[in-house]
Amino acid sequence: MINITKKLWFVWRNLTFVNCTIESLQGFCYIDNLTLKNCKLINTSLAFEFVENVDAQITTKIDSVFNPISGTIKADEIVNRRGTDSIKWDVADNELPMWVADMDFQTAPEIIDALIKRAKEGVFGYTDVNDEWYDAYINWWKNRHGFEMNREWLMFCTGVIPAISSTVRKLTTPNEKVIIQTPVYNIFFNSILNNGCQVLESPLHYEDGIYSIDFDDLEEKMSDPQASLMILCNPHNPVSKIWSKEELAKIGELAKKHGVTIISDEIHCDLTMPGKDYIPFAAHAAIIRKETGLYLSSGTVYGDCGKDFLRMNVACTKANLQDGLSRLKKAIDSL
């Protein structure tokens, strides 16, 4: 018998157990290539989540899933949401609504407890955005996605769509065109049309079950003098596509060439399969600094003739210059 006393996730890869009885209160989560050959699991209330290649005999009922990010989620507990003003469940008794991304699992206990604790204070006056809010976002993207944000870049908002709509309203004038890559989240259309702008579609190319960007079409749309803004979806909803750093770089190059501003909706960045990492669009612009710690500036300080160049100050010691050139080469090689 093997007794596993800790959670196994993230750092574990290619685990194989053969002819084992595994007793554990901590289940398996987010393990790439987990194989259980002729194994029995006993005394566990935790299930497999995002685990592939499992061959196991499970001897006890699995009634919950443990998510290392959000805690324990009751997998089989039905919560009656009818009569609760739920958009999803405000349907006839004989209808089963499965049309919207609205989970029927209860919120993680840690979140519920935090809300109850705050509510018990009993006073709901004006509050400010504190350091914990900033630190949560900065540390999450740094530790999980390898992208370090500056505090000054962050602004509190009430949701993704209000943020996108406000940005469209701020960065466009009525009747200008906003580019989207269809098929895409339908509310993007609302954010554009409700602000008096026109939708300019650049359809994704679909072949052999795979979606890709039609860069010829995208450049044609970006070259439209009335196209001033593009809403990028990364990862893309609903085609489940994580855009590569090469694709993101090319989008950025075209946007710079044609003077188009990019809004990147990255709300699904954490919903990826094990071993599949998404790249923040903002990281493309800072790839050299991110990879090497080398700070350069754009050659456009010298006018349009310098738009394809980087500016490096070489008024320094030979050792610093060699270090800088070495870092620059590392950054270029990583592209």
Give the pLDDT mean for 206-228.
95
Q: What is the CA radius of gyration of the chain?
A: 25
Q: Return the residue matching tokens 């800790």.
A: 6
Give the pLDDT mean for 42-69.
49
| pLDDT tens, position by position, 68-88 | 444 555 666 778 888 899 988
Nearest by Cα to 164 from 83, 254, 261: 261
Q: Does domain 159-278 have CATH number 3.40.640.10?
A: yes
Give the pLDDT mean for 43-53.
48
**How far is it, in rounded angstroms, from Cα 322 to Cα 217?**
42
Domain boundaries, the chain: 2-74, 159-278, 287-334
Q: What is the pTM of this model?
A: 0.65
Q: Which CATH class is domain 287-334?
A: alpha beta
CA neighbours within 13 Å on the CB side: how many for 270? 10
Q: What is the pLDDT of residue 24?
A: 54
Per DSSP (E only), the strands in the chain are: 2-4, 16-18, 21-24, 35-37, 40-42, 57-58, 64-67, 71-74, 177-180, 198-201, 205-207, 210-212, 227-233, 261-265, 297-298, 310-311
High-pLDDT (> 90) share of the chain, %: 37
pLDDT-based confidence at residue 326 (cuts at 50, 70, 90): confident
